[in-house]
């Protein structure tokens, strides 16, 4: 993969933790801190959720949070093109772990309609996002190949200023092949971005990232940089 030499350097702050539990606790606290700040300043908190399995325990911890749920607006960074109630949906995991257990108004939980035709889903979700100039917080995962959301190596990342907010992914190497993803450009329109990275399988992706290899995660370049929460062992 090419180096990132011709892109503005992504500002990356690496936060390493001795255990996964410590990482998850710190991530939960960072989310609630971002929420408190956003609600105090603007009366609302717009958060984009990561998919996959890494965030599960963080989402479960949020069930017990003392926060103004009525001010929360939840979005998804990507969604798998599966039936709305399919257990492999990112929205299903977030609902089971957290959203079904707190009083965020249903009208403020903005699911990606990925059960629909791809382009229809992408267009509909772009409309949903149209009113949000900057997300307050974007949570992202990291795949073993360096993907994030459903932005995969060698595929369209949508990392130019004229990129659409939402893109249809047709042949993802990670099941299912069809997905709907926010573009790198749209994911970068955020006050804060936190990557949650856990597990030995992510070591090579982290090494590539730190060696400025052009993995998709490195295409997320918000003005304030990104914070990567990971286990210390992954920095070895
Ligand atoms: C997905 C996610 C994807 C995920 C990474 C890491 O749909 O799978 O959006 O980007 O965050 O693949 O997945 P794990 O957390 O399961 O390792």
Q: How far is the CA of 45 from the centre of ligand 1 (A)?
A: 23
* Residue nearest to ligand 1 atom 10, measured at CA: 149
* Contact residues of ligand 1, CB 6 A cut-off: 50-54, 78, 80, 90, 141-143, 147-150, 174
pLDDT in tens, 39-97: 999 999 999 999 999 999 999 999 999 999 999 999 999 999 999 999 999 999 999 99
Domain ranges across the chain:
12-235
Distance (Å) from CA 216 to ligand 1 centroid: 13
CATH topology for 12-235 is Rossmann fold (3.40.50)
The overall pTM is greater than 0.75: yes
pLDDT at 111 over 70: yes
Q: What's residue 9's pLDDT?
A: 73
- Asked if residue 229 has pLDDT above 70, the reply is yes
Distance, CA of 114 to CA of 112 (rounded, Å) = 5
Q: Any bridge partners for residue 48, and if so which?
A: 75, 138
The predicted-structure confidence for 135-156, as pLDDT tens digits, reads as follows 999 999 999 999 999 999 999 9
How far is the centre of ligand 1, averaged over its atoms, from the C-alpha of 33 (Å)?
24
Asked if residues 155 and 219 have their Cβ atoms less than 8 Å apart, the reply is no
Q: In this structure, how many other beta carbons lie within 10 angstroms of the beta carbon of residue 211?
A: 10
């Amino acid at each position: 993969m090419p180096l990132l030499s011709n892109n503005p350097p992504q500002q990356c702050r690496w936060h390493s933790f001795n255990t996964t539990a410590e990482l998850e606790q710190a991530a939960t606290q960072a989310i609630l801190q971002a929420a408190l700040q956003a609600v105090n300043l603007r009366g609302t908190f717009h958060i984009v959720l990561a998919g996959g399995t890494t965030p599960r325990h963080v989402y479960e911890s949020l069930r017990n949070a003392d926060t103004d749920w009525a001010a929360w607006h939840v979005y998804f960074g990507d969604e798998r093109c599966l039936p709305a109630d399919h257990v492999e949906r990112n929205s299903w995991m977030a609902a089971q772990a957290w959203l079904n257990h707190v009083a965020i108004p249903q009208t403020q939980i903005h699911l990606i309609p990925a059960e629909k035709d791809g382009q229809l889903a992408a267009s509909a979700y772009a409309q949903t996002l149209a009113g949000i100039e900057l997300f307050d917080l974007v949570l992202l995962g990291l795949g073993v190949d360096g993907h994030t959301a459903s932005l995969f190596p060698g595929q369209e990342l949508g990392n130019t200023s004229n990129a659409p907010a939402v893109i249809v992914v047709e042949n993802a190497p990670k099941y299912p092949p069809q997905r709907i993803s926010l573009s790198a450009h749209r994911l970068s329109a955020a006050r804060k971005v936190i990557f949650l990275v856990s597990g030995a399988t992510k070591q090579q992706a982290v090494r590539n990232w730190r060696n400025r290899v052009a993995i998709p995660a490195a295409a997320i370049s918000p003005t304030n940089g990104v914070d990567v929460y990971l286990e210390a062992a992954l920095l070895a």
